[in-house]
């Protein structure tokens, strides 16, 4: 869940239309039209990546007049289905998925079950990926995969498959390297 | 034993942090310095502290490289020196930069190859440009390029499947792993293969970073860095490694080898002992006010060579590999699998208040103000934390003071203690109040005994090192 208190704004006099901002936006909120970046404020989750990426310093994060709450209430979704999705993805329902926003696995599961079909959808429904955008991505990919959804990033964004996790490590590898406690860590979190 | 407070390393100006503060915590009345070797006399002695003679770093690098086999590098080949982000903030960054320069000169002289510098960012697109300008790297390196976890990836086939590195880190015929060994984020790497961490961080795509941190346990995750480093792809490009060595006392030397595991083995013995003692000492504190007063992210600012993040998380012993997890987010779930956790790192119980004189936002740290009275100095800095997307609720819990003195008065009142520990980037000494110094001095002998007789032998055995040999 995230309370979005800021929004991205573009100074047209500084914008050169290079589209670098488009490539880093997790929700597709910023688009270049007629060589000028424009922000769809409804979709801006204040991740500040456009501000960071812009080499022309054309972007500023300014306070919203009315903060926006991005959340999906897990209690509004069938709890058994949430548990089923979580366990299939090998995550615990109360596990933090997005550390920056405190979004738990059960909220991500609820959002997927309520129709989130892309990373952008998920960010709009939960706020996940609106912080560092780094540490949550593997678990989110696994949860989409567990839901039977093949999701890819937009064409001009880069994202690589990283559903690899410790449960994928073959037994023979676990036994070959006892010093890494692969077997034990897997058993603890199974 | 106590000395006048020592001026800490300068803070680099950055868009990611507040304007560097003219007033440092060390300037406050009553602050003092306590040398780490007055606490533990056998901590490896430094050859360099900030402001010192950089020629000792060059000399140490040249000596270390004299034992490295470089003959496989041909004059018609390209060699990239990979510089990682945190090296540019250790003791102000100048030692690390000097090591990079010395590596370039040695490799160029001995091989005639085309040597370039690649500078890694942690997360921000502007980080590397700032570093390049601040350290005037273009004066020393003809060819410099930056890279970060968002750049084009290269698939690396490992024993357990495909992981993704950053293509630019591996694009030359050879790369030199130019790194540092100060223990940071030990709650993640557990001091299993410290010098290999860059292969799952600096040189890795963010998906690989995510897998390392949260798709494996904190013990099992160390296998990822080994899997990547041992892969044929990496092995055929790895020329050698050159590691800036540290102890809590400061920079102690440079180690270089064609075999990174040999460096790993050499580092472990001393680090487990030296940093183990400092960590255990601080973990035994009952009360203190923690002050952030250094460059870059608050987690990584040092006090006596110990990162704040390590101290904050020291309810756990990260060196003890018999413990599956050593931070709250996983540990709480293991105890109650159907519960919830809103805590990543429970702050150490001794931190009764926190003062942020200066530190970059940008890394998840909201557990600190949620649980500990935290005061941010300066409205400019508070504004940065308010906007920080990785800590969107930080300022919901923290308060702002106009001045450092005001912040310290507030912290003393709410905490009821005048024991202050400052994380200002220092190695070699702790910046602190005399009352805290007395506390540490009284505790040090028992910590020394416990580490030497009980903990160190256990830590070494857990890593396959014979305590007798060590």
B355 shares a domain with B289: yes
In chain B, the N- to C-terminal Cα span, in Å, equals 30
Range of the domain at B113: 55-272
Q: Same domain, yes or no, for B267 and B378?
A: no
Q: Per-residue pLDDT for B414 more than 80?
A: yes
Is A52–B389 a contact, with Cβ atoms under 8 angstroms apart? no
Cα separation of B447 and B426, whole Å? 22
B51: Cα separation from own chain's centroid? 20
Residues of B in Cβ contact (< 8 Å) with A177: 223, 226
Per-residue confidence (pLDDT) for residue A163, from 0 to 100: 85
Average pLDDT on A45-56 reads 96
Q: Which of B153, B208, B222 sits opposite A180 (nearest CB)?
A: B222
Q: Is the pLDDT of residue B334 over 90?
A: no
Of the candidates B214, B239, B272, which is a domain's last residue?
Answer: B272
Q: Which domains does chain A have, with CATH numbers?
A: 2-70 (3.30.70.20), 74-159 (no CATH)
B458 — contact with chain A (CB < 8 Å)?
no
Confidence (pLDDT) at B336: 79
- Give phi and psi for A70, each to the nearest 5: -105, 110
Is there a domain that residue B466 lies in? no
DSSP letters for A18-37: --HHHHH-SSS-EEEETTEE
3-state secondary structure of B8: coil
Mutation test of the interface with chain B: which of A55, A96, A107, choosing the one with the most B Cβ atoms within 10 A? A96
Chain B residues with CB-CB distance to A96 below 8 A: 329, 341-342, 344
Chain A contacts of B216, Cβ < 8 Å? 165-166, 185
Express each pLDDT in B354-385 by its tens digit.
999 999 999 999 999 999 999 999 999 999 99
Task: For residue B459, tell me if it sits in a domain.
Answer: no
CATH of the domain at B224: 3.40.50.11440
Same domain (yes/no): B294, B256: no
Least CB–CB distance from A135: residue in B153, B213, B223: B213
- Measured in angstroms, the CA of B34 and the nearest CA of chain A are apart by 36
Look at residue B384 and tell me if it is in a domain: yes
Q: Which of residues 74-93 of A touch B (CB under 8 A)?
A: 92-93
Question: A130 at the B interface (CB within 8 A)?
Answer: yes
Residues B352 and B301 in one domain: yes
Does pLDDT of B278 surpass 80? yes
Put simply, whether A171 touches B (Cβ < 8 Å) is: no
Query: How is residue B176 written in tokens?
Result: 């030199």
Chain B: give the shortest CA distance to residue A90, in Å.
10
Whether residue B29 is found in the same domain as residue B129: no
Whether B247 maps to a domain, the answer reads yes
Residues B97-111 as b/e (b if ≥16 CB within 10 A, e otherwise) read bbbbbbbbbbbeeeb
- DSSP assignment of B196-242: GGGGGTTTB-HHHHHHHHHSS-TTTTHHHHHHHHHSHHHHTTEEEEE
Domain end, chosen from B226, B243, B272, is at: B272
Which residues have a Cβ under 8 Å from the Cβ of B446 and sit 6 or more positions away?
A: none
pLDDT at B337: 78
Is residue A177 within 8 angstroms of chain B, CB to CB? yes
Q: Phi first, then psi: what are they for A135, rounded to 5°?
A: -80, -15
Residue A157: name the closest of A10, A49, A5, A8 by CA.
Answer: A49
Instruction: Say whether both B399 and B291 belong to one domain.
Output: yes
Q: Which of residues 12-31 of A touch B (CB under 8 A)?
A: 24
Q: Which residues of B touch A99 (CB under 8 A)?
A: 329, 344, 364
Average pLDDT over residues A94-102: 93
Token pair in block for residue A184: 């034990």
Number of independent structural domains in chain B: 2
For residue B141 the two structure tokens come to: 């390196």
B321 and B339 share one domain:
yes
Greatest Cα-to-Cα distance within chain B, rounded to the nearest angstrom: 66
Q: How large a percentage of chain B has pLDDT more than 90? A: 88
Distance, in Å, from the CA atom of B190 to the CA atom of B317, rounded to the nearest integer, reads 9
Q: Cβ-count burial of B155 within 10 angstroms (0-12 exposed, 13-18 middle, 19+ buried)? A: middle
pLDDT, position A189: 76
Q: Nearest CA of chain B to the CA of A141: how many Å?
A: 10
In this structure, the answer to whether residues B296 and B183 fall within a common structural domain is no
Give B468 or B386, the one with higher predicted confidence: B386
Look at residue B470 and tell me whether its pLDDT is greater than 70: no
Separation between Cα atoms, residue B262 and residue B72, nearest integer Å: 20
CA distances from B150 to A131, B92, B125, B153 (A): 14, 26, 9, 8
Closest to B181 measured CA to CA, from B87, B289, B108: B87
| CB-defined contacts A:B, below 8 A | 163
pLDDT for the residue A144: 96
Q: Are B395 and B382 in contact (CB under 8 A)?
A: yes
A34 pLDDT band, cuts 50/70/90, is: very high
Any CB–CB contact under 8 A between B265 and chain A? no
What average pLDDT does this structure show over B6-12?
95
Distance from CA of B336 to the nearest CA of A (A): 9
pLDDT at A188: 84
pLDDT band at B190 (very low <50, low <70, confident <90, very high): confident
Query: In B, residues 377-396, which contact A (CB 8 Å cutoff)?
Result: 386-387, 389-393
**Alpha-carbon distance B136 to B140, whole Å?**
8
What's this model's pTM, rounded to 2 decimal places?
0.96
pLDDT in the model for residue A2: 96
Quick: pLDDT tens for B300-332.
999 999 999 999 999 989 999 998 877 777 777
Residue A70 pLDDT > 90: yes
Kindly state whether residue B342 falls inside one of the protein's structural domains. yes
- Are B152 and A134 an interchain contact pair (Cβ–Cβ within 8 Å)? no
CA quadruple B332, B334, B340, B344: dihedral sign: positive
Q: Do residue B426 and residue B319 come from a single domain? A: yes
pLDDT at B294: 92
Question: Would the CB atoms of A5 and B393 count as touching at under 8 Å?
Answer: no
Q: Is residue B48 part of a domain?
A: no
Please, which pLDDT band fits residue A162 given cuts at 50, 70 and 90?
confident
If asked whether residues B242 and B387 sit together in one domain, one would say no
Average pLDDT, chain B: 95
What ipTM goes with this model?
Answer: 0.94
| B467 is a domain residue | no
Would you call B334 an interface residue with chain A, using a CB distance cutoff of 8 Å? yes
Q: Report if residue B461 sits inside a domain.
A: no
What is the reported pLDDT for A97?
94
Say yes or no for a CB contact (<8 Å) between A186 and B220: yes
CA distances from A124 to A37, A81, A111 (A): 20, 21, 10
Same domain? B277 vs B259: no
């Amino acid at each position: 869940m995230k309370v979005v208190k800021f929004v991205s704004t573009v100074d047209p006099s500084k914008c050169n239309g290079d589209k670098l901002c488009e490539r880093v936006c997790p929700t597709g909120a910023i688009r270049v039209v007629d060589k000028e970046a424009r922000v769809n404020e409804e979709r801006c989750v204040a991740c500040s990546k456009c501000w960071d990426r812009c080499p022309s310093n054309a972007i500023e994060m300014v306070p919203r007049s009315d903060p926006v709450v991005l959340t999906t209430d897990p209690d509004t979704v069938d709890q058994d289905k949430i548990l089923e999705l979580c366990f299939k993805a090998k995550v615990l329902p109360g596990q933090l998925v997005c550390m920056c926003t405190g979004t738990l696995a059960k909220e991500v599961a609820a959002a997927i079950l309520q129709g989130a079909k892309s990373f952008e959808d998920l960010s709009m429904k939960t706020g996940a990926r609106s912080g560092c955008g780094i540490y949550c991505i593997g678990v989110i990919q696994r949860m989409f995969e567990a839901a039977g959804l093949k999701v890819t990033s937009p064409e001009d964004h880069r994202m690589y498959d990283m559903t690899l996790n410790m449960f994928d490590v073959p037994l023979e590898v676990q036994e070959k390297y006892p010093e890494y406690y692969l077997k034990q860590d897997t058993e603890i979190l199974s | 034993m106590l000395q006048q407070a020592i001026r800490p390393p300068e803070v680099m100006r950055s868009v990611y942090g507040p304007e560097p503060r003219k007033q440092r915590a060390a300037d406050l009345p009553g602050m003092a310095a306590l040398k780490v070797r007055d606490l533990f006399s056998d901590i490896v002695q430094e050859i360099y502290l900030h402001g010192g003679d950089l020629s000792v770093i060059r000399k140490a690098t040249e000596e270390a490289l004299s034992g490295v086999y470089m003959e496989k590098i041909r004059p018609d080949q390209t060699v990239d020196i990979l510089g990682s982000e945190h090296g540019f903030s250790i003791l102000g960054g100048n030692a690390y930069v000097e090591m990079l320069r010395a590596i370039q000169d040695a490799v160029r002289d001995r091989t005639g190859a085309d040597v370039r510098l690649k500078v890694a960012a942690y997360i921000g697109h502007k980080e590397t440009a700032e570093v390049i300008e601040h350290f005037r790297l273009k004066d020393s390196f003809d060819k410099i390029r930056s890279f970060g976890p968002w750049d084009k990836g290269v698939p690396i086939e490992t024993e357990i499947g495909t992981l993704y590195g950053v293509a630019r880190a591996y694009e030359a015929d050879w790369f030199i792993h130019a790194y540092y060994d100060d223990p940071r984020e030990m709650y993640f790497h557990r001091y299993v293969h410290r010098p290999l961490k860059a292969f799952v961080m600096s040189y890795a795509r963010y998906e690989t970073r995510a897998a390392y941190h949260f798709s494996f346990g904190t013990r099992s995750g160390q296998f990822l860095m080994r899997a990547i480093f041992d892969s044929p792809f990496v092995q055929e490009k790895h020329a050698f490694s050159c590691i800036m060595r540290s102890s809590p006392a400061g920079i102690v030397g440079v180690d270089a080898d064609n075999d990174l595991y040999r460096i790993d083995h050499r580092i472990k013995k001393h680090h487990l002992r030296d940093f183990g003692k400092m960590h255990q000492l601080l973990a035994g504190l009952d009360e203190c006010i923690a002050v952030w007063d250094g460059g870059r992210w608050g987690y990584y600012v040092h006090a006596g060579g110990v990162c704040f993040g390590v101290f904050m998380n020291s309810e756990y012993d990260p060196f003890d590999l018999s413990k599956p997890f050593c931070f709250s987010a996983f540990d709480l779930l293991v105890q109650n699998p159907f519960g919830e956790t809103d805590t990543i790192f429970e702050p150490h119980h001794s931190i009764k208040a926190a003062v942020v004189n200066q530190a970059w936002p940008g890394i998840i740290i909201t557990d600190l103000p949620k649980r500990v009275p935290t005061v941010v100095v300066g409205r400019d800095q508070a504004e940065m934390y308010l906007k920080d997307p990785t800590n969107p609720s930080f300022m919901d819990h923290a308060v702002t003071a106009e001045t450092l003195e005001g912040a310290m008065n507030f912290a003393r009142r709410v905490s009821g203690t005048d024991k202050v520990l400052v994380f200002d980037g220092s190695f070699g000494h702790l910046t602190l109040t005399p009352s805290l110094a007395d506390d540490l001095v009284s505790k040090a002998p028992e910590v020394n005994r416990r580490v030497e007789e009980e903990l160190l032998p256990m830590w070494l055995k857990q890593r396959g090192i014979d305590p007798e040999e060590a």
